[in-house]
Chains A and B, each alone.
Chain A
Amino acid sequence: MAFKVENLTVYYQTLRGDVRALEHASFQLVDGEIMGLAGESGCGKTTLGHSLIVLFPPMKYISGRVEVDGEEIPIWDAEGMNTHRFRKISLIPQYAMNAMNPIRKIGVMIRELLESRGVHYKDILPELKRRLDLVALPHEVLKMYPIELSGGMKQRMVMVISSLLNPSLLIADEITSALDVATQKAVAEMLVEFRDREFVKNLIVITHDISILYQIADSILIMYAGVLAEKAPTRSIIESPRHPYTRLLISALPEVGVRFAEKRLQGIPGNPPLLLNPPTGCRFRERCPLAYERCLEEPPFIEVERDHFVACWKEYENHAQAG
C-alpha cells in the first residue's frame, strides 16, 4: 500500500478544552489512487490534510500512525518531518494565491526552497521547464514576481512547485474553489495528468465540491464532524451511497437540469455538533432520520463491500445478516 493511515486522532488545544477535530481515522490508498476528501466546513477534512504535513500547536497529536511506501512517517515530530515534507508528502495550500513569497522572483524562491532541501536548482531546472510547459506557463514566469501572475497562473505555478520533487503523496486543499469554471476544469485535469505521468503516486483532493471529485477522483472519503463516515469508489458514492449523511448530502446538491418548479430539493435539517464536547456514539445521530438506540454507541468503520467502507450501525447489521 502506497499510503496508509491508522487510527489517527488529532485535537486542537483551546482554553476551554480539546476540540476533537479528527478521531480514529483509518484508511489506505493503493498506488495511483486519487482520493477526494469531502464534507461540510468544520468536518475535519483540512485538519486531516494538514496533520500529515505540519502538526504544530494548537494542533495536538494524540495517536495513530501514517505510512508512506511502507515507511512510517513521524507526523508528531515537527523537526523530523523536515526530511519527509516536500519529498515524500507535499501540500498545495488552500490560498495558493498568497502562498508565494511576494518579494522574491519565483525562480529565486524555488532555488531557495530546493537548496533548503539540499537539491541543486540547476539539476532540476530542465525538469522544471518541462513541467511549466505541461501546465502551459511560459518560462519567463521564473523571472517574474507572484503579483505579475493571474489567479489561475499562480495556482498552476504552486502546483508545479509542490510536486517538483515527485512526492509520493500530494495533498491539494480546496485548490479549485476560488477559480472560474474554465480554469477550475483545467487545474483539476492537470492534477490527473500529474498522476498519469507519475510525478506523484497518490493524491488527496480536499474540496467541498463533490461534482469536481466526480470528474477526477478514483475514490471519495466523506467526513462528518471529525470522523470518517464513508469511503468508496467514486461511482458508488455518487450512485449508491450507504451512509445516511452521504445520501442526504448527495441529494441536496443542485444539478444542471433540476429546477425548483419541477423538483424541490431538500437540505439536511439541523447543524453539525460542536466538537468541544461531541455527542457520544454516532456523531450524525441527531440529524439522522434512521437513528435508533444502537447509535448511542460509536459505529465502527467497516468494509461492507469490496473497497466500500461505512460507519453506520444500520449498514453494519445489514452486512452481518448478509453473511
Chain B
Amino acid sequence: MLRLDKVSKIYRVGAFGGRALLAVNKVSFEVHKGQVVSLIGESGSGKSTIGKMILRLLNASEGKIFYNGEDIAGFEGEALKNYYRQVQGVFQDPFSSYNPIFKADRIFKVVHEEFFPQVSDAEWGERVEKALSSVGLNPAHVLNKYPHQLSGGQLQRFLIARALLLNISFLVADEIISMLDASTRIDVLNLLADLKAYGLSILFITHDLSLAYYISERAVILYKGNIVEQGAVEKIFNTPLHPYTRMLMESVPRLDRKWEKEITLVERDVENLRRGCPYYHRCPVGEKRCAVDQPPLVEVDEDHWVACVHYESGADLVKPLSLAGQEPHTVV
C-alpha cells in the first residue's frame, strides 16, 4: 500500500545552510492495508521527518515513496488533492493544529468546501455527527466551541474525526498520545485499533514502546535516521537483537519489573562519524570494524531484520549478545 524505497532526507543547517545534516538515511519499509506499523526512536531519530515526507510536507532528498504503486513526488493539482483524500496526518500537539480565533469545528467546514462541495449542508452535518460519534464524542457537547473550551483528548479525537470524514485509507499518527492523560490516552489508542479493523493502515510514530507493542503488528526501530532493527512486533520485543533496541527495552520504565541496576553506558568520542555504524559511539559491543563499515539490514529470522555486524553471518546466531561486563573497545 505504502512503500518507502531508500528514502533519505538531508537538511541544510548552520549559517547560510552551509552544513548538511543527514536526518533520514536510506530508509525502506512497507505498510500493508489494515496494518499498524510503529516507528520508534528517540528525539532526533528522524521519525517525524519520515511522517512529514509521507504527507508531502517535506520532499525526500533521495529515494522514492510509493502509494499504491505510484510515486507520490509526482502528484500535483488534482492528483495531490486525491492523495490527501486518502492519506492524512494527526500530530502531537492538538492545540497547535487549530486556529484559536475560529471555532474548532471549522476544520470540518474546510473539508466540506474543499473536498465535498457537492454534498448539501444538511447531509454534511449528519456526516460530521456520525464521524464524531464514531470517535466517541457527543456532538452536542463539542460542536460550536472554541479550541480552548475543549480538552486535549477531545481536540485530538476531532482531528481523527476529520480524517475519517475524508474516508482515508492511510493515517500518519505522529506522537498523538503523548500529550494526553493516562485516563484518556487508552481510549484514543483503542479508537485507532478499531479503525484498523475497518481496513485503515496506520503509521504510528512514537517513542513509547509499550504503546507500540499494544497497538501494532510491526515495528521499525530508528537510530539517527537509520533503521537498526525491524520486523514483527513480538520478535522485536521478546528477542531484541540490536544493542540499541536492547538498551531501549531495558531502560523503559515498567510496572511489572524494576530496572536492572546498571547498564553499560558507553560514550566514544567519534569525530563526525561519516561511515560506520551510527550506533558505534554508544555501543557496548562495538568493534573496530564498526567504525568503518555500516552494517546492512539482514533478515536473521522470519520477518526480523537487524543491522549489526554481530548478526551478519547468518541465522545460527539469533541469540541476543551479552551486553554487560564487556570492556568497551577504545578507538585508535
Contacts and interface: CB of A to CB of B under 8 A. Distances in A.
Given A186-B265, A267-B184, A268-B183, A211 B207 contact: no
A214 B265 CA distance: 22
Interface residues of A, number: 37
Interface in B243-287: 247-249, 251-256, 258-259, 263, 265
A186 B152 CA distance: 30
B187 A181 contact: no
Contacts of B248: 181-182
B182 A258 contact: no
Given A180-B42, A181-B248, A259-B213, A211 B254 contact: yes
B215 A260 contact: yes
Interface in A185-217: 185-186, 188-189, 208-212, 214-215
A256 B186 contact: no
Contact of A210 (B42, B43, B182, B184): B182
B99 interface: no
Contact of A248 (B43, B183, B207, B209): B183
Given A181-B42, A181-B207, A265-B186, A255 B255 contact: yes
Given A249-B182, A257-B213, A184 B253 contact: yes
A209 B253 contact: yes
Interface in A159-193: 180-182, 184-186, 188-189
A196 to B, nearest CB: 13
A181 B57 CA distance: 28
A254 B265 CA distance: 27
A202 to B, nearest CB: 21
B210 A254 contact: yes
B297 interface: no
Nearest to A253: B182
B67 interface: no
B181 interface: yes
Nearest to A41: B181
Given A256-B213, A260-B193, A212 B186 contact: no
Contacts of A238: 255
B207 A215 contact: no
B1 interface: no
Contacts of B213: 254, 256-259
B237 interface: yes
Nearest to A43: B181
Given A180-B42, A215-B259, A252-B186, A40 B181 contact: yes
A41 B255 CA distance: 21
Interface string A286-320: 00000000000000000000000000000000000
Nearest to A151: B43
A240 interface: no
Contacts of A210: 182, 255
A208 B177 CA distance: 13
A13 interface: no
A203 B56 CA distance: 47
Contacts of A184: 251, 253
B257 to A, nearest CB: 9
Give the 10 A-B residue pairs with the shortest CB-CB distance, closest first. Answer: A268-B183, A211-B253, A267-B187, A180-B42, A185-B251, A40-B181, A267-B186, A254-B214, A181-B251, A260-B193
Interface of A: 40-41, 151, 180-182, 184-186, 188-189, 208-212, 214-215, 238, 248-250, 252-260, 264-268, 271
Given A181-B253, A182-B42, A208-B182, 8 more contacts: A41-B152, A181-B207, A182-B247, A210-B255, A214-B254, A252-B186, A253-B186, A268-B184
